[in-house]
Copies of this chain bind each other. A is one copy, B any other.
Amino acid sequence: MNPLEAKRHTLAHLLAQAVLESYPEAKLTLGPAIDTGFYYDIDFGDQKVSDADLVTFEKAMRKRLGEWKEFTHEEVSAEKAREVFKGNPYKLELIEEISGRGEPITLYTCGGFTDLCRGGHTAHPAEDIAPDSFALDRVAGAYWRGDETKPMLTRIYGLAFDTKEELDALTAQREEAKKRDHRLLGKELDLFTFSELVGPGLPLWTPKGALMRHLLDAFVWQLRERHGYARVTIPHLTKRALYETSGHWEKFADELFRIETREDKEYAVKPMNCPHHTQIFDRHPHSYREMPQRYAETTMVYRDEQSGELGGLTRVLSITQDDSHVFCRHIQVKEEFFKIWDIIDTFYGAFGFRLRVRLSFHDPAAPERYLGTPEIWANAENALREIASERGADHFEAPGEAAMYGPKLDFMATDSLGREHQVATIQLDMNLPERFDLTCVNEKGEKERIVMIHCAIMGSIERFSAVMLEHTGGNLPLWLSPEQVRIVPIAEAHHAYGKEVAAKLQEAGIRTEIDASNDSLGKRIREAKRQKLPYVLVLGNAEMDAKTVTAESRDHGKLEGLPLDEFSTRLTKEIVEHL
């Protein structure tokens, strides 16, 4: 256990003591260290604990901390332990488990507070822990041992770092993240909505949101088209037979939306596209000269998630994948991975994401978890290793993270708040070609088993939109803004000129709207800024007479008295720059 983790675990004990001061009847359960601090799950019986209690608990923790000079511990018999924790069924359950495993039962004590614990604390809390380096965070519900058939407990979260500065930095990042919550931004920018009648997890995309999606997808397509991809189109349903062959009927058991037809046939709504795509590839034999075949399709897949897990765009029932499948020969794998990597780099680069790559390999100690011979795996993983080194990319290996059917490259993007998100993945699949008996005819006229490469650049448009909206804070890059320019004529006398400017810009393909409403100039400008529009043109006599524009650029400050043509050219240049 590293020193910070030890501090966090120590603070969980301290929290427990503080809680018992106010609620002596509360029953403690478990209190581990976590990523940003610690928590303790506690059974408060009929009593309700709220955020207001946190102030009291936190004050008590700071007061007690000075008394927490040194931890002591003793090993006790199960009998003794049962005596100490009698009346607390949770601890008693833990004691039975520990002694059942034949492990020693230890009690740790500090500042007069004793808990059942296996250790891992800071030795001298009063010295080691700065009183301003931690804070209580929030209260939530949690089932005992995460099991929904068991009692609901109260979980109290705390934040803890080595220094106050680190704590403050996290708090600031969280404040910023709250403002950038994609659910808020989606509403503010009018990108998507949800309907009670349609249901949670099923976003409805408004004109602006649908345009944003379309532009994102067109960008990916543009990159793919350069590399020889072709679009295909499949339905969202299939007979059960397809998934019995692919193995998804079993593997996706719970998440599959199943349908019984009026003729009692079993269908499913697709949770992925690969099995359908194999059927297009397999419509006729392919010569090696036609390989690779590269199929791309942006289409929705559906997974039956539990409704408690649904929220915003990060967990949805309808997932739009910008999916692709390359059907190729073993000797073509490397080149195809390179092409896809190029696409990923260009795409994420356009948004200023930093990427690092996880080489998700098989676990050599558990060969039974994978399909295929050790030789095939060694070849495939070596190929990925080579690709990663050749590109000089920031990468690391993660044994045991491979898919059952092959190794993969997982791309992790760091956003502007320093948070890391798993985004694109490229997967090498040696399994579906076996199951569907996919081959090409090679130079010798023989059937040759092929491989498949799965890749979604955005992953899903919903998830990528969420990550990208929070990363940009809703300041969509110019090329992606549904409305690129808002024209605000100062008075009615300037409406005609406003229309003239709008027509010119629209002719150049720049998405432009006029706000000629009766609202005051100030209100109209504020409204345009609230919508985070890249350019707001305020047009009055000066501009009208000189045939110029004055622009407030969201990203580049004020541009005064620019000739219209110059402004239009400047924007066109800025728009194509991302490509």
Contact = CB atoms under 8 A, between A and B. Distances in A.
B237 A202 contact: yes
Interface string A257-272: 1111111010101000
Contacts of A306: 262-263
Contact of A318 (B193, B199, B235, B261): B235
Interface in A196-246: 196-199, 202-207, 209-211, 213-214, 230-239, 241-242, 245
Contact of A207 (B211, B230, B239, B263): B230
A279 B204 contact: yes
Choose among A255, A265, A280, A295 the residue with the greatest number of B CB atoms under 10 Å from its CB.
Answer: A280
A447 interface: no
A395 interface: no
A389 interface: no
A289 interface: yes
A308 to B, nearest CB: 9
Contacts of A235: 198, 202-204, 300, 302, 317-318
Main SS of chain A's interface residues? mixed
A276 interface: yes
Given A238-B197, A241-B197, A261 B257 contact: yes
A460 to B, nearest CB: 12
Contact of A232 (B204, B232, B297): B204
Given A258-B259, A279-B204, A289-B517, A210 B233 contact: yes
A280 B517 contact: no
Choose among A193, A197, A242 the residue with the greatest number of B CB atoms under 10 Å from its CB.
Answer: A197
Contacts of A237: 199, 202, 257, 269, 302, 317-318
A238 B199 contact: yes
**Nearest 9 pairs between A and B by C-beta?**
A235-B318, A207-B230, A205-B233, A195-B279, A199-B239, A193-B283, A197-B242, A210-B231, A202-B235
